[in-house]
């Protein structure tokens, strides 16, 4: 039978084989195409032998070079003002310090050993250095830093004994590591957001989730609380540095986080120019929050007011009467008890549905980061806490796109009146300076731990009406409650 007589089945099979062969060739060579701005895609794999002894072919060397070049671009954006970025270019390694934190930038292959909390950074030059970094952004606060474990970084020549006998690399990662601590003041909502969550955004957002978070002082409860945020910041499950399953190898790393101030960031110093508005949008995406602006709430419904209820110090002594006044003015009142804030996934959604938030100065006001743009924060300011109220929640709230009102209590609204009497200097002269000169412990004891408030409802009503006006509502004929 001639060539023309081959069956359709044979021809179809031949075409399938050609397509299969083409697929194998494409798979073999497609990994050589590198996007210099996103050259890494995470591939965690078990490897045997020491990472610094592996020899790759030309294609893998090309890949490593491109990864280093792209990583270098990102890392240079994190060099502090006043530091010389050429050291990072020349050595692939730069440690730096500022008022809030210490940290190191590493643009070369490294190993992280869980057993000794040590990062090994082999070098071909003659330098041999040892650094101890506490990767938490609260330097100078002994109480916080005592709860942060130091991470040792060994950077040196291969001929040095500390970097010659490197541990065996068990896992290989193709994305850079960000090493930080969840110790410090963990447990306080304000400090967690202020010193870890926002600094993580400042440090890591530019990597577009292609980064591996490595945590020292690992606390399962902290991870559970912030899991939605962490999962949105990185595509990969966080690593417990102390129990990571062995030695892990990375193409580079950032050890320590950037910090710009209380509940805020300086967009001119953030890689990519991200602002506080970008951070809040990132939170909305992470937690699935639906409301971006108070103008999106239906005008046919009463505006919701979230009342932060405290059960210890700085609590409202007439909370029930306060709630009635809020309802009379025209609000639908939602009371937030302390145990409700443990689940950020739930509580962030509750806050995002409110137009106004009211609370006495304290960590609960940190949740203003979840309010829609244009919402109002009303901070009740106890005696002696003016500076902290303005700098921790007032000014930061305005900078993040909120409206802000403060209600400064008078002496007869403070529980300190019954403790010290009307003629005591703390009350009569209202002189917090004399208390603060006695030290932080004394000032905290008096103004924070001993003080609660009994609000003057007539005077506070005026503040509530101001809040209604700021969100475009009025007190005339409040709409009915929504079902």
Question: How sure is the predictor about 89, in pLDDT bands with cuts at 50, 70 and 90?
Answer: confident
If you average pLDDT over residues 24-46, what whole number do you get?
39
d(CA 111, CA 171): 10
The mean pLDDT value of the chain amounts to: 85
If you average pLDDT over residues 69-78, what whole number do you get?
88
pLDDT at 246: 84
List, in order, residues 6 or more apart from 431 with CB less than 8 Å away: 425
C-alpha torsion sign, points 467, 472, 478, 479: negative
Question: How sure is the predictor about 65, in pLDDT bands with cuts at 50, 70 and 90?
Answer: low
CATH code, residues 289-470: 3.40.50
Q: 349, 289 in Cβ contact below 8 A? A: yes
- The larger pLDDT score, comparing residue 8 to residue 78, is at 78
Of 56-60, 121-125, 291-295, 451-455, minimum mean pLDDT range: 56-60
- The larger pLDDT score, comparing residue 18 to residue 367, is at 367
Q: Where are the domains of the chain?
A: 45-277, 289-470
Question: How sure is the predictor about 460, in pLDDT bands with cuts at 50, 70 and 90?
Answer: very high
Give which of 397, 367, 399 is closest to 467, Cα–Cα: 397
Q: 182, 223 in Cβ contact below 8 A? A: yes
Residue 434 clears pLDDT 50, i.e. is over it: yes
How far does CA 220 lie from the centroid of its chain? 16
- The larger pLDDT score, comparing residue 16 to residue 30, is at 16
C-alpha torsion sign, points 444, 449, 451, 453: positive
Q: Compute and round to an integer the Cα radius of gyration of the chain.
A: 28
pLDDT at 1: 42
Question: How sure is the predictor about 330, in pLDDT bands with cuts at 50, 70 and 90?
Answer: very high
Cα–Cα distance list, 416 to 200, 412, 424 (Å)? 39, 9, 10
What's the CA angle centered on 475, arms 473 and 479, to 5 degrees?
75
d(CA 262, CA 264): 5
Q: 186, 147 in Cβ contact below 8 A? A: yes
pLDDT tens for each residue of 411-426 = 999 999 999 998 887 8
DSSP calls for 192-209: HIIIIIHHHHHHHGGGTT
Residue 477 clears pLDDT 90, i.e. is over it: no
pLDDT at 243: 85
pLDDT tens for each residue of 130-169 = 999 999 999 989 999 999 999 999 998 755 545 556 778 8
- Count H helices, E strands: the chain? 19, 18
d(CA 380, CA 464): 12
pLDDT tens for each residue of 162-171 = 555 677 889 9
Residue 16 clears pLDDT 70, i.e. is over it: no
Copy the structure tokens of residue 428: 């009569």
If you average pLDDT over residues 68-87, what whole number do you get?
86
d(CA 130, CA 104): 12
pLDDT at 429: 64
Q: 407, 413 in Cβ contact below 8 A? A: no
List, in order, residues 6 or more apart from 414 with CB less than 8 Å away: 382, 383, 427, 451, 452, 453, 454
d(CA 229, CA 283): 7
């Amino acid at each position: 039978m001639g060539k023309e007589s081959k069956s359709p089945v044979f021809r179809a099979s031949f075409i399938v084989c050609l397509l299969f062969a083409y697929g194998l060739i494409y798979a073999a060579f497609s990994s050589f195409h590198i996007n210099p701005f996103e050259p890494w895609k995470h591939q965690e794999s078990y490897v045997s032998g020491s990472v610094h002894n592996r020899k790759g072919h030309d294609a893998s060397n090309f890949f490593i070079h491109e990864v280093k070049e792209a990583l270098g671009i990102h890392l240079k954006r994190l060099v502090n003002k006043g530091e010389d970025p050429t050291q990072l270019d020349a050595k692939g390694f730069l440690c730096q310090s500022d008022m809030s934190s210490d940290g190191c930038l590493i643009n070369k292959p490294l190993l992280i050993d869980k057993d000794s909390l040590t990062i090994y950074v082999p070098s071909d030059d003659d330098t041999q250095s040892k650094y101890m970094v506490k990767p938490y952004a609260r330097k100078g606060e002994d109480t916080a830093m005592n709860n942060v474990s130091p991470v040792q970084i060994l950077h040196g020549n291969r001929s040095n004994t500390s970097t010659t006998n490197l541990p065996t690399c068990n896992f290989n990662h193709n994305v850079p590591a960000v090493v930080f601590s969840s110790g410090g003041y963990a447990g306080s909502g304000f400090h967690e957001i202020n010193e870890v969550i926002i600094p993580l955004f400042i440090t890591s957002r530019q990597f577009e989730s292609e980064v591996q978070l490595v945590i020292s002082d690992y606390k399962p409860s902290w991870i559970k609380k912030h899991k939605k945020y962490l999962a949105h910041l990185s595509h990969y499950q966080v690593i417990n540095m102390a129990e990571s399953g062995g030695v892990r190898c990375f193409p580079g790393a950032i050890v320590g986080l950037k910090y710009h101030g209380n509940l805020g960031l300086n967009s001119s110093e953030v890689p990519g120019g991200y602002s506080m508005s970008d951070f809040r949008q990132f939170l909305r995406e992470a937690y699935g929050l639906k409301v971006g602006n108070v103008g999106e709430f239906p005008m046919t419904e009463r505006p919701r007011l979230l009342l932060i209820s405290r059960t210890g110090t700085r609590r409202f002594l007439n909370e029930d009467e306060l709630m009635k006044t809020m309802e009379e003015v025209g609000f639908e009142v939602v009371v937030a008890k302390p145990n409700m804030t443990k689940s950020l996934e739930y509580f962030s959604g509750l806050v995002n549905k409110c137009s106004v938030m009211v609370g006495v100065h304290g960590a609960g006001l940190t949740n203003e980061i979840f309010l829609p743009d244009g919402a109002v924060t009303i901070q009740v300011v106890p005696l002696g806490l003016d500076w902290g109220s303005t700098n921790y929640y007032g000014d930061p709230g305005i900078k993040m796109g909120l409206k802000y009102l403060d209600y400064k209590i008078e002496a007869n609204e403070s529980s300190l009146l019954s403790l010290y009497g009307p003629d005591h200097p703390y009350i009569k002269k209202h002189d917090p300076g004399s208390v603060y000169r006695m030290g932080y412990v004394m000032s905290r004891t008096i103004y924070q731990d001993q003080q609660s408030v009994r609000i003057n409802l007539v005077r506070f009503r005026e503040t509530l009406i101001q809040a209604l006006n700021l969100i475009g509502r009025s007190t005339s004929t409040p709409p009915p409650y929504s079902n």
